[in-house]
A and B are shown apart, each in its own frame.
Chain A
């Protein structure tokens, strides 16, 4: 199994601190794709603003 490069394995302890970004990124995805005011406290605003993206990215919108 040879490829273009031979990647070195990055040890999990070095990866772990960066995993804190995952909940933040998932929150962004949630606000874009699913929030209807419950988390953002903006009422239907996020829903309306992201409306076309939600439909065309294929998530249930309304």
Chain B
């Protein structure tokens, strides 16, 4: 039975002083007042639902907007040259040459993934893939950035199992290779794991689609899955309110994903795009129909007339407010010219996708929504979609910051003999954060589509985008919450530097940046300070490297009770490589290659894996970041890849040279003989720093003897410090480090490989 008792625009005029649950819907008093001012009356209950969800932090970016502007302002014309679509759209689009464009974005699904890890993570993948599809692109790969609580906590296992199974279930069933990502454990994420999902898509320039309704008379069509009661108000309630163990149980259903429906929807949409029958398209995620109608109309500078009773439902008893707010997955809204309707119907019928025409675009600055013959929404679309509140929240330097920075790692006890150093190396290597992540990544299909040139455990994921020429793209993401806690501005630059370097070590040229900014409550001035510092650092860093931010996502309220997570801005860098056949592997493969360490090593152990694993310590200042040096290093690697001078390259980051060496050995089970004496002498450091320092702008490379002279000349020409620290030794199946001893690779592998299986089975 259809609901008949609805609040209409007429009633809103007549019963002007009716009490409305604006507070329960997450609105502030002044926000409710501005809605009344905009409309010149109280909103109807449907309008209230739309405004409340669209003005939530998650949809409106009201606390972050003033800082995000920097990403569009701190750019040079050169940086914008290849940017086809910048911030503000569903995802940014970058010209990668050969008439192809790439769109990529990373988004959070943190709160749903704590409540219901499996569906939360699954629908996170589904949502970001639809964002990419909406731009007109075929999605070609996914990645996930996961941060869980302390590994030994029982609840962590619940979340880890659910999240990985959810990503595996949804991503594998969509047929998208999972080519990388991050898995980090830290107790600060105990009650608030971070589940970020990245997707990347490829299109021809002419296939670019925008979420716009510009042509009056065009039809508004909802297609895909039917609308049900899933994720009701999930956006405003789930994503904007902190978990509070004593709080009210305002816990709506988490969205439920059906990857089969999404796979069919992807193929159906791509066929619609190629047939040229949709003029504009928007996916339905957070805020559902409220978002899609108002954004399409507002983006196109037009209006829309919609009959809400024509929405196909799974449950006929849904109220109009619920239909407007429903977050049922696997739905799309298309703007279709009337003359294309027949062609549209032929394609959706072929894919057995359900659709209904809801209304049409009108030449008026108004969004009218009817329920049968009753008008329930009558608003200027821009006020819902784009003119939400903007806050300049109070900012305060954290009270704990100076003490934290003063508590450096310099007083921590260092190993005194070779046996102790060897034990520390093995301990770090088998700690959950540095250990083998195959327990997670083996649950993901990395082969589907047949274009994967690099995937985990390599430093970055790489896929071919043109079979004719071998043109490919590389993506790496990074974040280091500990560095950001010590210094958010420096920390985010470190994440940028590492992602940039991870792209560079594959031989690709870094080209563009996306981000997912995970922070605590914006209502906490100390968190807001972290956010301000981090956004400034990222915008400045991108300007210095000359690569633009193409889009991103902000996730606030990541905290349990009063305790915020470490600020965790995830930075993703996209690179381009002319021919994936020239990519550089991350591990050693051949006998007798010279091993070089590029870059300088300082005694930088604050916030390091060594300080955490050996001493459970976090304090001091993060490593120094020098983006000019990162750029030099990237140019060197790119040049070396083109000339085919290096056999492998591996980024040095957490765990320092020691972990990089071990990983390079374990990748293809090739041993090495290492001597660090020259490095120690040149950089005036001790053995602990040589092994475990996390100094930046460093890469480990292996060079064949025949290319040795050329390679050294290249380093000299580029001004990149280069020191030989060893040679590969395939036959030995052992890692020998002079002054420490010899470790059999199978022993090194054992602790590294079993850490996660032992924790999670």
B and A form one assembly: no
- Chain B positions near chain A (C-beta within 8 angstroms): none
